[in-house]
Structure 1
Amino acid sequence: MLDFTWKVFSNTGNIDTYLLFKQLEQEKEERPDIQDDELAEADFPIS
């Protein structure tokens, strides 16, 4: 998820995408035991 978010930001320069990237990066540092996919699911639950 981090790689995808960074690629979108680097291609678009969208500040919201950068802020999302930083938020995901911070959550990963706070909880190193969880995977990127779990972070994404926490923000956007799959129904």
Structure 2
Amino acid sequence: MIDFTWKVFSQTGSIDTYLLLKELEKDGQEEPYNYEEKLAEVDFPLS
């Protein structure tokens, strides 16, 4: 999805497409952290 968004942005120069690209990149970077956090909660429940 990121590659497609980059291709559209590079061809159109659309600011909205660029912002979407950055949002997708941000979401992709946060996902592994959230996944590890969820695994930790399973191993060590808070309650």
TM-score by length of structure 2 reads: 0.66
For this pair of structures, how many residues does the alignment match? 33
Unaligned runs of 5+ in 2: 34-47
Pairwise CA RMSD of aligned residues? Answer: 1.4
Higher helix share: 2
The percentage of counterpart residues that share the same residue type is 67
Higher RCO (CA < 8 A, seq sep 6+): 1
- Rg: which structure is higher? 2
Unaligned runs of 5+ in 1: 34-47
